Structure 1
């Protein structure tokens, strides 16, 4: 009795082409079986990908929460009076409760301290450093120690040098006095701005331009006598 050929077995009539097709069919069948076996693995990879994505999001959220908040700046404070008043009120309360408890601190804060923008700036950041050391999410003994050993003494020393001898009377206009302390500063040589701009923008590889005389430079607005 003749046994029927296997479906994958090419007949002699099919020739070389039939043999190639049958071999390709076996390879495809083998690949299908392998892919079926990898099904659970692919599912596991998808699960791990999702877990990694969730962990990344969690870490980003935690990092954002732990990122130190910047201290506000008095020099760049907003122009809204309510916000300025809030900054000054908060600072005055902290000075009374904390900074002025230290004798050397009380000795360097004159009655005119609020007239000195640099002094307010120093005290603002020192207040926020104290808040971070004692009340922030990362408050620690190390931060508190750094505040006592380095930050507070540094501010005290700078205030002693800058306003240690100042008084409220010195901010009053009197005959023979110059500009009162705390007046907005002027930038030396600012009148040469346009001359420097033209040189640095177009010819910085060349020698710098010669400035105008002092009399000519002061004859008009910034850069007006230099054009």
Structure 2
């Protein structure tokens, strides 16, 4: 019996001896995780892309608006219009289409983020060429491709684009939808009032 206890004690000592390096390994692993976290934070910080200005929400300061348009026109001339499909799709009246100006502004800033600054990368440039630029070209063509300066003239005999504030369809239902979604979204939505099919 004593011999059996001695064998068990010896086996236990060997097992404990194998565990001696574990605290040091855990400490080294914790240090490595900390270093990786710092490296990831640094890479993420470098990749942060500044927000693109919005034409639709541009300040009413004429100097600010002029700077946006000057920068955009310079970029269009230098980059966008060098692509044949870009030159073909941009109508002379593009400035009268706020949605087109908005598209071109963000595309310009996407190009700047892809080619300039700390976040510039080959992958971002590829995405700009493969996805972003062709997407904007297609949308500009759809939104204003058949338009011309004449369509924006308002003198008698010329057609003109609708003027005045844009009415958001269904805006009158905002309160009802707010209440439903905030308090009872698992129930059926409230019925729309007015309009609709008859």
- TM-score, structure 2 as length reference: 0.66
Aligned to 1:166: 147
Mapped pair 1:137 → 2:118: yes
Call closer, same or farther: CA 1:100–1:63 in 2, change over 3 Å: same
Instruction: Pick 1 or 2: higher relative contact order, CA cutoff 8 A, min separation 6.
Output: 2
**Distance (Å, rounded) in 2 between the aligned partners of 1:122 and 1:207:** 34
Aligned to 2:8: none
SS in 2 for 1:137: coil
Aligned to 1:211: 193
Residues 46 and 119 of structure 2 are in contact (CA less than 8 Å); yes or no, is this contact kept in structure 1? no
1:194 CA displacement = 4.6
Where in structure 1 are there 5+ consecutive unaligned residues? 1-51, 215-227
Mapped pair 1:113 → 2:88: no
- TM-score, structure 1 as length reference: 0.58
The higher radius of gyration belongs to 1
Call closer, same or farther: CA 1:114–1:184 in 2, change over 3 Å: farther
Deviations 1:30-60 (A, max 9, x none): xxxxxxxxxxxxxxxxxxxxxx8xx96x986
Answer 1 or 2: which has greater helix percent: 2
Q: Which runs of 4+ in 1 moved over 3 A?
A: 58-66, 174-179, 181-184, 191-207
**Distance (Å, rounded) in 2 between the aligned partners of 1:190 and 1:178:** 29
**Distance (Å, rounded) in 1 between the aligned partners of 2:173 and 2:154:** 31
Residues 117 and 182 of structure 1 are in contact (CA less than 8 Å); yes or no, is this contact kept in structure 2? no
Aligned to 1:32: none
Pairwise CA RMSD: 3.4
1:125 CA displacement = 1.1
Query: Which residue of the other structure, out of 41, 46, 70, is the alignment partner of 1:89?
Result: 70
